Amino acid sequence: MKAKLKDTANFLFEIGCEEIPAGMLPGAMRELKVILEKYLSAHNLAQGSPVEVYGAPRRLAASCACIRVRQPDEIKDIQGPSKSVAFDSSGRPTPAAEGFAKKWNVPVDELVTVATPKGEYLSAKQVILGKSAKEILEEILPRTVAEIPWTRSMYWAGAEGLRFIRPIRWVVALLDGKALRFSLGDAVAGNFSSGHRFLGKAKIPVVDAKDYLQKLRANFALARPEDRRQKIEGELRRLASAKGLRIHEDEHLMGQVTYLNEYPTAILGGFDSSYLELPEEILITVMRDHQKYFALERKDGSLAPNFLAVINLDKDKSGLIRAGHERVLRARFADARFFWETDQKCRLADYLPKLGAVTYQEKLGSYGEKVERIRESARWLCEQWFARGIAHASVGAADRAAELSKCDLVTEMVREFTELQGIVGGLYAKSQGEPEEVAWAVYDHYKPSGLEDSIPRNIAGQAVALADKFDSLVGCFAVGLVPSGSSDPFALRRAAIGIVKILIETKLPVSLAMVISRSARTLAHGPRKIAVSPAVEKQVLDFLLDRARFVLRETGGLAYDEINAALSAGADDLVDAVRRMEAIRAIRKTKNFEALAVSFKRIRKILEKAGPESGWKLSSVRSDLFVEEAERELHARAAAAMKEVEQQKRALKYREALQEIAKLRPAVDRFFDEVMVNAEVEQVRKNRLTLLSGLLSEFSTIADFSEIVTAEQAK
C-alpha cells in the first residue's frame, strides 16, 4: 500500500557560530523569530504553530513543529488583450484572443472578460502550483540570516564573504529530519550540530527540535536560556545558603551569565577579609563589572568575603578554577585599593582645578564651568525653598556639594569604573570628613538614573541634582543638541525624567519656567556668554512637560487626558499640576462632570468658529443685552460660582473647586437648550460669545475640561 503523503513537516534550523556576544543574544533570538515567522507566513507555509527560538554563545537556533510541506496552489487571473482588440465587430475572437489563449493553454471559449478601470479585458485563469517548503526554505534561510540586525557585524572570509556577528562555522537545517541544501559562506547546511566546546562531541547528528535539545544537553550545551538560568539560580541559592549567606541580587548580571555560558555551573570563592575595608559599592562593582561574580551578603546585609562565579563547565574538578578566580579577584581588589589610596593623596576639592581641562561639551565648556553653574542654581533653589518655609534647605550644604559634585571625574577610580561617578565622590567626601549631608548629596546627585531608580535622599542632593539636570537641558538645547530619535548622547531624556521624578516625589515647590530662565541667565552670564532665546526656553519647557506626561502615566496611575487637562490649565508647578490631576481623577466619575466637559468642548468649538476675539469680544458681559432668561441665569450662576471656586483654589481644595464648577451644568445645559448663540442682532451675538469665553477662561484654571475624553468620544 502506498503511504499517504504528509501535508506538514517539522523544521529545525541552527546557526553554529563562534562565541556570540552575550548582550546581543536575546535580541538576536527575538529577531530570528520575527523574521522567520514573517517569511513563513508570507510564503504561505505557516500552519499556526509558532517558531521557537534557542540561543547560547555558540548557536542561534529556531524550530517550528508544523509547517506546510508545499505551498497551496494559487489561482491567478492573467490579463490579456482588451475586449475591443480580442473580438471583431461580429463578436468572433481575433488572432489576438487566439494567441492569448494559446499562450496560457486555455480554450478560447474559456476566456472570460473582466472589467477594469481602463475598460474590459480578456482574462485567463491560471493555476500557479505551490512551491515545496524545501525550495522556499533554501531560499529564505540565507536571507533570514542576512536580515538579523547587529550593532557591529564583521567579515571573516574576506570582503566577498558573509557578514555576521561572528564567523559561522556550521549550519543545521532540517525539514522532517532531511537536510536542506544551501550554505552560509563556507558552512554547508546539514544535520550535524556541535556540543560544548570542551565537554561535548564536535559532531552530533540531530533529527528534530526535541532530539536537538536532548542531544545537546547530553553534550553539555543547554540551548534554551531558561534551562541555563534555572540551573544557575538553583546552584547560586544552594551555595549561598550552605554558607549561611544570601546573594546580592543583580538581575542584569543574571542575564549576562545566562548568555555567557553553554553549560553554566556556579562555584564559590573567597577573598581576604582585609579588602572589606574598601567600600562595598566598589567591591561589588569590581566583582560584577570586571569578573561577573555575584557578591554575597551576611544576614545583617553587610558584605561577606565570598563570591559566586559562574563557569562554563560541569564542575571544577581539581579546584584549580576556584583558585584561579580568587587570584584574579585579588589582583582586581589590589587595583581598587591602589586607586582608593592614590586618589586620596589629596582632598576631593583639590581635583577642582583639573576639571577645567575636562570638556563637558565643546560649546558649553569644561566641567569646571559646569560646576560653577550648578553651584549658582543649587544655591538659588535652596534660597527659594528656605524663603518658602522649608527650614532644612541649606544653601551652604548645597553649594559645597555642588562644588564637589564633579571632582571624582578626574580620579583614577572613576576613570576605571565610570558607572561609579558620584558614588566615588561621595565616598571620598565622607572619608575626608565632609558633613554627612554634603557627602550624600555628592553621592546621589546623578540620581535618579531612570524611572525605577530612587531620587537623592536629602534636600542638598535634590538641589544639586536638579541644578545639574536643568543646566544640561538648557545648555544643550541652547547649542542645538536636541535629542532626536534614538540619539541622545547627553542623556537629556533621562535628565528630564529625573527632574520630574524629583519634583513629584519631594513635592518641592519649583516654577519650571523660573528655573529654566535662571539656568539660561547663568549660561548667558558665564564666561562663554551662551545666549538662550525665549524660544529655546519654551522648547525646554515643552520637552520637560512631555517627559512629565510620560512619568505620570507610567507611575502616577493617571490617564493621559487627566494629565493633559491639568497641564494645559497651567503647568508651571508640577506638584500643583499633579494635585489638580488627582482632583480631576477623583471627580471625573461624578454625575455632572463629563456632561460639563462635553459642554466646554462645545463652547471651545463655538469660539473657534467665531474667529479672532477682536472680531466679537466685548470689554465685559453686558446684562442689558441679555434676551433670554437662560443667559441671564448662566451669567449669575457663574459669577456666584466664581467666588467659591477662587476661595477653594487658594486653599488648594481643587476637588471641591471642581465640584463647584460641575454644579454649573444645569445652567449650561439650559443655555444651550434655549439660546442661539448666533443671534441675528450683532451686539446680542457678541455678548453671548463674550459670556461663553469668560466662562471658559475663568473655569479652566484648574483643568481644561475640553481635554477630557468623554465616554461618548471614547467610543
Partner 1 sequence: MHPETFLRVLGPEPYRVAYVQPSRRPADGRYGENPNRLFKHHQLQVILKPSPPNIQSLYLSSLAAIGLDLAAHDVRFEEDNWESPTLGAWGVGWQVLLDGLEITQFTYFQQSGGIDLDPIPAELTYGLDRICAYLQGVDSVYDVRWSEDRSYGQVRLLEEQEFSAYNFEYADPVITRKLFELHEKEAGQLLAAYEKRSGKQDRRYPILAAYDHCLKCSHLFNLLDSRGVISTTERAQLIGRIRQIACRVAVDFLAQQAESRGAAATAEVAR
Is the distance from CB of 365 to CB of 359 less than 8 angstroms?
yes
Shortest distance (Å) from residue 269 CB to partner 1: 9
Closest separation between CB of residue 159 and partner 1, Å? 4
CA distance 281 to 427: 9
| β partners of residue 64 | 11, 51
List of residues 6+ apart from 282 with CB closer than 8 A: 336, 340, 413, 417, 420, 424, 427
Determine, following the binding rule CB under 8 A, whether residue 155 of this chain makes contact with partner 1. yes
650 binds partner 1 (CB under 8 A): no
123 in Cβ contact with 114 (< 8 Å): yes
In this chain, which of 69, 78, 207, 328 binds partner 1, going by CB under 8 A?
A: 328
156 lines the binding site for partner 1 (CB under 8 A):
yes
In the shown chain, the binding pattern of residues 594 to 623 toward partner 1, with x for contact by CB under 8 A and - for none, equals ------------------------------
Cβ of residue 355: shortest distance to partner 1, in angstroms?
Answer: 10
Q: Among residue numbers 12 through 71, which ones bind partner 1 (CB under 8 A)?
A: 18-19, 21-23, 57
Q: Select from 72, 241, 338, 418 the one that contacts partner 1 (CB under 8 A).
A: 338
Contact between 366 and partner 1 per CB under 8 A: yes
Q: Which stretch binds partner 1 (CB under 8 A): 94-102, 357-365, 388-396, 582-590?
A: 357-365
Q: Is residue 295 within a helix (H) or strand (E), and if so which, with residue range?
A: strand 294-297
Find the shortest distance in angstroms from Cβ 393 to partner 1. 34
Residues numbered 577-596 forming contacts with partner 1, rule: CB under 8 A? none
Q: CB 186 → partner 1: shortest distance, Å? A: 6
Chain residues 158-177 in contact with partner 1, contact rule CB under 8 A: 158-161, 166-167, 169
Q: Under the criterion CB under 8 A, does residue 183 sit at the interface with partner 1?
A: no
Q: Is 448 a binder of partner 1 (CB under 8 A)?
A: no
Which residue stretch of 5-13, 306-314, 378-386, 557-565 sits at the interface with partner 1 (rule: CB under 8 A)?
306-314
Task: Indicate the residue among 146 and 323 with the shorter CB distance to partner 1.
Answer: 323
Nearer to partner 1, 290 or 649 (CB): 290
Q: Can you read off the three cell numbers belonging to residue 133?
A: 517548503
Nearer to partner 1, 342 or 647 (CB): 342
Contacts of 245 (CB under 8 A, 6+ apart): 296, 297, 298, 304, 306
Closest CA to 706 of 611, 559, 601: 601
357 scored as a contact of partner 1 (CB under 8 A)? yes
Contact between 149 and partner 1 (CB under 8 A)? no
* Stretch of 297-305, 355-363, 432-440, 684-692 contacting partner 1, by CB under 8 A: 355-363
Specify the residue, 309 or 378, whose C-beta has the smaller distance to partner 1. Answer: 309
SS3 at position 65: strand
Number of shown-chain residues binding partner 1 (CB under 8 A) = 52
Q: Which 3 state secondary structure label does DSSP give 183?
A: strand
Residue 170 or 671: which CB sits closer to partner 1? 170
Min dist CB 489 to partner 1, Å, is 14
Nearer to partner 1, 63 or 193 (CB): 193
Residue 32 CB, nearest approach to partner 1 (Å): 19
Q: At what angle do helices 459-478 and 367-387 cross, to 10 degrees?
A: 130
Binding to partner 1 by residue 331, rule CB under 8 A?
A: yes
| 313 part of the interface to partner 1, by CB under 8 A | yes
The one among 129, 334, 640, 676 contacting partner 1 by CB under 8 A? 334
Rounded Cα gap, residues 422 and 407, in angstroms? 9
Q: Which is nearer to partner 1, 167 or 426 (CB)?
A: 167
The reply to whether 318 sits near partner 1 by the rule CB under 8 A is yes
Decide whether 130 or 264 has the Cβ nearer to partner 1: 264
DSSP strands (E only) in 180-277: 183-184, 187-190, 192-193, 204-205, 246-247, 265-270
**CB of residue 74 vs partner 1: minimum separation in angstroms?**
42
Within residues 382-411, the interface with partner 1 by CB under 8 A covers: 410
Nearest to 278 by CA among 209, 314, 329, 211: 329
SS3 347: coil
482 contacts 423 by C-beta, under 8 angstroms = no
Q: Least Å distance between CB 445 and partner 1? A: 21
What CA–CA distance (Å, rounded) separates 176 from 65? 9
- β partners of residue 263: none
CB of 166 or CB of 224, closer to partner 1: 166
Q: Report whether 138 contacts 149 (CB < 8 A).
A: no
Q: Which stretch binds partner 1 (CB under 8 A): 148-156, 493-501, 690-698, 704-712?
A: 148-156
Query: Nine-digit cell at 371?
Result: 560646576
Contact present, 12 and 61 (Cβ < 8 Å) = yes
Give the count of beta carbons closer than 10 Å to the beta carbon of residue 291: 15
Nearest approach in angstroms of CB 220 to partner 1 is: 11
> In this complex, which beta carbon is closest to partner 1, that of residue 45 or of residue 295?
295
Q: Residues near 329 by Cβ (< 8 Å), separated by ≥ 6?
A: 269, 271, 286, 287, 291, 293, 307
Cα-based torsion angle of the residue sequence 690, 692, 698, 699 in order, rounded to the nearest 10 degrees: 180
3-state helix, strand and coil shares in percent for the chain, rounded to the nearest 5: 55, 15, 30
Residue 325 makes contact with partner 1 by CB under 8 A:
yes
Nearer CB in complex with partner 1: 322/670: 322
Pick from 124, 184, 260, 515 the residue near partner 1 by CB under 8 A: 260
Give residues 195-214 in contact with partner 1 (rule: CB under 8 A): 197-199
448 near 506, Cβ under 8 Å? no
How many CB atoms are located within 10 Å of the residue 323 CB?
A: 12
Distance CA 179, CA 197 (A): 24
Residue pair 278/340 in contact (Cβ under 8 Å)? The answer is yes
Closest CA to 286 of 348, 232, 344, 337: 337
Does 321 bind partner 1 (CB under 8 A)? Our answer is yes
Q: Do residues 666 and 614 make contact, with C-beta atoms less than 8 angstroms apart? A: no
Question: What is the smallest separation between the CB atom of 64 and partner 1, expressed in angstroms?
Answer: 30
Compare residues 238 and 315 and give the one whose CB is closer to partner 1.
315
Q: Which segments of 445-491 does DSSP mark as H helices, in order?
A: 459-478
What lies within 8 Å, CB to CB, of 217 at 6+ separation is: 227
Positions touching partner 1 (CB under 8 A) are 18-19, 21-23, 57, 152, 154-161, 166-167, 169, 186, 197-199, 260-261, 291, 309, 311-313, 316-318, 320-321, 323-325, 327-331, 334-335, 338, 354, 357-359, 362, 366, 410
